[in-house]
Structure 1
């Protein structure tokens, strides 16, 4: 059922996807785009185990042990732990809010953003940054993988970049169905090699490193400044992961989300913040290096160390490629490019990740990730403000989140103004603040500004910029008029 000219909302969050559902006795219909342009129908919903297996894929990235060792070296153990606890707490709150809505609506983060205050074309800006960030991650992880295989077979780096980029194509071609199987099969191999490395390091050190909670390397900052430095470094992770979690939790049945959220939202980030990152601290204290590709080869030997790198990077890069291709597919629809499906975007993303490797994305990552943290936190502030205040507390807009371009304004002043204001204010603080603590908190300052501006704009405009039809019945102002 579609929205009528009088603005009636659909009676069900999945009504417009009903035609995709399987009839009794049939297998669910597979959408090669993984429902990047529509709601996920009930027939395509999955169990918590399938979602967990995919989300745990990014936890195995070498990137996280690397930053664990790096934060320890730069800021000390105590500041690193405190920064992890604060960042984890903020991330979980944001991820639960956005993922719960995604499960209820069955929408990707891009489609959810359209109806949450940015409009059908206004959301394309967030699409480019969000999907582009995962392309950068894919190039970064691919470059790490290429450097590890080069230890066994010395070929020009550019050859390995192409090989590494192309090896993921057949694995990601069929979307989440095939990915779930691959990621599940690689779990035992990954954890076996990781446990062996942990045990070897443990024996070599005669137990747990004494400085896991107290180490203060020479030159480390420590204290409040050190804690803020860790929080600043994790701003991008806190900003992007609520949307990544939502993109997979849309496959969870809405009625089951509350009891499954501990597995599909909380557990992956517990493993990330309190296992993967601290493991980097553990290995750094024992080996003296914070680079996983170096210390894993030193602990396991050449072939097992490279094998661990491959298993790890296959798991994380599949999620990078899948999320970016799905997001570009959703965004292209808003611009009228309906023929650009997920598989075509997957080819584009693969080519882009290879190009980034050629231009040494790994060596130029820091500045990009710092600024994207500012943008991503401003974006999640807009969506969370819309879910919790505009729709939740104030009920300025009601009913299922509208995602269809024909039913939305191209640009919604509410979210676009909030996003640009929050990003601009945070960027100015980041660029010009001389106090390192203030500069480190710039992304969170932008979050607060974007949240406040989004709510203020929605109140001032009374939601009139949300829908193409100014008389849409989902607007509280029109409901009040009808009641009067």
Structure 2
């Protein structure tokens, strides 16, 4: 035990992982905690989990659709810009995530306040589920069209159920191994499709293809294509939740090869070229859709094509369901102040996905993604500004994220909501100009506004409290401290002292987020003059009140 003061309960510390925490992490992946250095993944393991996102029919369809509207050359220029921009952003965010070990939900508390941050995991979970709906619908359509038996609703259920077991064990336990085994199948399968398409269709001039009719896009074709790709800024939120498992020593390599430009080259250029070529060879210009591309692949390869479609969609769905379930878990904990087991969170995501698949998906999916895209663009820009303006954090080289040391709302929350709503209004009512420019306008406005109020935000969002466990240990990343509520030990990075209990014993980030008495006591301590912030009289006498 470590004595820290005459009125403080001593910290119960250790220098090794709590076996109970490690066992729980096998499925929970530290969803509501900071990822310790001992749980970080190797470059190979992390890359295989992350590269599940490279194999989506969505990228092929998007590139083929853009080529039909603005031409192949403009689509590739837009894709190259996307590689450069997303590669830079992904590298920055991934390094920050590896340095801090934080999730989207945790870093959002610093940006928007404890209450204001609740929307972040909601937006990310909903977006991930919408993508899961799209990818699962592709699988169901392929099986239904090829086999021809059973109702489409049954195939919808099969498509969802096939994906759920693959992400029950988290990133380190199963996702990396599964995706590593199937990655070659994806690329070899697509190469075979390209070869067969070249033999059966007219592919002359596909690189120089230009649209036959012009459409008012309110921007040059190449810029329009880039803005369409910019709508996928949710990649930055995905990056935060995945890159937190990276080792700090690997941050530079991971920032280039896993989360940076190499990854986005495969996403936007390699996939884009294949999608455009297949659509052109099949004569699909002007009538591009996810089902048309799928039907072409299955038509060329038969049963092997069906397997390829399943591989592509199942791989990317592991990432979709993983991010959706972890953020549902974080959201549930914050809203209902009870823990939600990961398995239950996965089943909830599967159930929601299936219910959406029973509706007319495309009638609302694109609009919903556009609305959520405004919040995501603002979140991404504000996060990047925060990283740039506060490279050393608020203390110990980290941003403050502990719920007992942050206000309910910060200026960042109002900027986030205002800029996002403005982006939605521009998209809905701005005609072709609004539809094209809403995402970049939202991104720039949110960044500029947050940079303007950054110093004021940093001053007002941090609660002034004494007695920080981080100051009481030699190494905040290697020292484990026992939480007086759950009785489990977590790294000192996330630990706080609980002023609602006599002696202010240590409390972990997850339990702190569940406890109302802890929150009230922290605010009360903040409002007291510094000279009165003693522990002689505890603010409340409830060990585990919630």
TM-score, reference length from structure 1: 0.86
Q: How does 1:60-139 map to 2 (within 5 A)?
A: 60-115=55-110, 117-139=111-133
Q: Provide the residue aligned with 1:10 in structure 2.
A: none
Q: Report the alpha carbon displacement of residue 399 of structure 1 after superposing the two structures with TM.
A: 3.3
- The alpha carbon displacement at 1:110 in A equals 1.8
Instruction: Report the CA distance between 1:141 and its aligned residue.
Output: 0.8
Structure 2 distance, partners of 1:365, 1:144, is 14
Shift of 1:471: 7.2
Q: CA deviation at 1:464?
A: 2.7
Structure 2: gaps of 5 or more residues: 6-11, 471-529, 531-546
Match of 1:9 in 2: none
Shift of 1:55: 1.8
Distance 1:79 1:106, change over 3 A: same
Return the offset for 1:179: 1.1
Residue from 151, 174, 178 that aligns with 2:174: 178
1:314 aligns with 2:314: yes
Whole-angstrom distance in 2 between the partners of 1:428 and 1:281: 32
**Distance between the aligned counterparts of 1:76 and 1:18, measured in 2?**
59
Aligned equivalents of 2:324, 2:283: Cα separation in 1: 35
Q: What aligned pairs does 1:72-471 form with structure 2 within 5 A after superposition?
A: 72-115=67-110, 117-151=111-145, 152-176=147-171, 177-205=173-201, 209-212=204-207, 214-221=208-215, 224-237=219-232, 239-266=233-260, 267-289=262-284, 290=288, 291-301=292-302, 303-335=303-335, 337-389=337-389, 391-392=390-391, 399-411=397-409, 413-434=410-431, 436-437=432-433, 439-461=435-457, 463-469=458-464
Aligned-partner SS, 2:460: coil
Deviation at 1:196, TM superposition (A): 1.4
How far apart in 2 are the matches of 1:189 and 1:150? 22
Structure 2 length normalisation: TM-score?
A: 0.76
Q: Secondary structure at the match of 1:123?
A: helix
Q: How far off is 1:89 after superposition?
A: 2.1
**Equivalent pair of 1:95/1:243 in contact (CA under 8 Å):** no
Structure with more relative contact order (C-alpha pairs < 8 Å, separation 6 or more): 1
Contact 1:21 1:29 in 2 (8 A): no
Total equivalences in the alignment = 452
Tell me how far apart the structure 2 counterparts of residues 78 and 89 of structure 1 sit (CA, whole Å): 17
Q: Does the 8 Å contact 2:166/2:174 carry over to 1?
A: yes
Distance 1:215 1:455 in 2: 43
User: Whole-Å Cα distance in 1 between the matches of residues 256 and 130 of structure 2?
Assistant: 29
Give the secondary structure class of the aligned counterpart of 1:234: helix
Taking structure 1 as reference, are residues 399 and 233 closer, same or farther at Cα in structure 2, changes over 3 Å only?
same
- How much does 1:20 deviate? 3.5
1:467 Cα deviation from its structure 2 partner: 2.5
**Deviation (angstroms), 1:102:** 0.4
Q: CA deviation at 1:101?
A: 0.7
The alpha carbon displacement at 1:433 in A equals 2.7
Q: 1:232, 1:441 within 8 Å by CA — same for their partners in 2?
A: yes
Cα displacement string for residues 99-135 of structure 1 (whole angstroms, at most 9, x for unaligned residues)? 11100011112212222x2122211112111110000
Query: In structure 1, how many angstroms separate the alpha carbons of the residues matched to 2:415 and 2:138?
Result: 37
The 4+ residue runs of structure 1 with deviation greater than 6 A are 15-18, 395-398, 470-474
Q: CA RMSD in A?
A: 2.9
CA distance in 1: counterparts of 2:321 and 2:224, whole angstroms = 29
